[in-house]
Structure 1
Amino acid sequence: MADAEIADLSFEAALAELEKIVKGLEGGQGALAEAIGAYERGDALRRHCERLLADAEAKVQAITLGPDGEAAGVRDLA
């Protein structure tokens, strides 16, 4: 699966694949070349997930900000 195909993955699918790669790398099994390839794929998946999270955050901010740019209808839950 190439980077172009990663762009088509949902956040959940990309994160699941990334978790699988991390577990494989942590296990230390396989050849160095395979580990490097897995790391590169994992990095691409990580960047994709970060983009999707940033997009989601921007959408939430657009929904929760009022016309004056101040938080509208949001309260601190802390």
Structure 2
Amino acid sequence: PAGLNYYYFLSTLYTILITLIMKQTIDENKILAQLEANKKKPKKKSGFMARLEEAQKLQEKQARERAKENAKRNYR
């Protein structure tokens, strides 16, 4: 049991030291500024998403054209 307590103590001490070192080396303001700059950039759509939207627009256009043709036929 004494060895297990020693292990837990060293593990906790190591974790605390690593956390303190990381907080000192990382500049949070710089990271926040970079995140804000990234939010302002327009989001690029993936190639698949762009193709999917293009196909959807084409289908909608074709459906409108078919509806117009059907309306003309029914009107006569």
TM-score above 0.5? no
State the TM bucket, normalised to the shorter chain: 0.3 to 0.5
Structure with higher helix content: 2
Which gives a bigger RCO, structure 1 or 2 (Cα 8 Å, sep 6+)? 1
Q: Which has the larger radius of gyration?
A: 2
